[in-house]
Amino acid sequence: MSEQNLSTPSATSGTSDLSELKEHCAELQRQTHSLRVALLVVAICVAGFLALEGRRNGQALQLLRPQAAQVTEASKVQDPIANKFLAQLMDFAKGHQDFGAVLGKYVQRAPGAPAPTPTAAPAVAKPAPAAPPKK
């Protein structure tokens, strides 16, 4: 019986393995190239979409600026009136303790605004003790 040297592969198996590896490598390179092209197309589409949205939002902003200026002007006119009304409510709450509690619950002052004058909280009646159970 003749023994083949197992440490060295035969010539035919070596070339077939090498050619098979080259084919796999070439296929992977083609797939990588295809994926790069697809990624480039997706990136261009996303960039185009974002540019379009930026332009649309810029145009919408130009349309809203006059309206925002009108709201700001109206706010400048109405703020002193609202503050005067709130001051009148605070004065009314000084004389009416029950209303002071309601006013404190629903009216929050802006940060940096003077704090409202403290009002006494209405007295809360304590619940009556429970009656002993009947026998």
For the chain, give every domain's residue range.
15-106
Walking along the chain (135 residues) 10 residues at a time, the average pLDDT comes out as 53 79 96 98 98 96 94 90 90 86 78 50 52 63
Q: How many CB atoms lie within 10 A of CB 86?
A: 15
Q: Phi first, then psi: what are they for 94, rounded to 5°?
A: -65, -35
pTM over 0.85? The answer is: no
How many Å apart are CA 94 and CA 120, to the nearest integer? 9
pLDDT above 90 covers a percentage of the chain that reads 44
Q: What is the per-residue pLDDT for 129?
A: 58
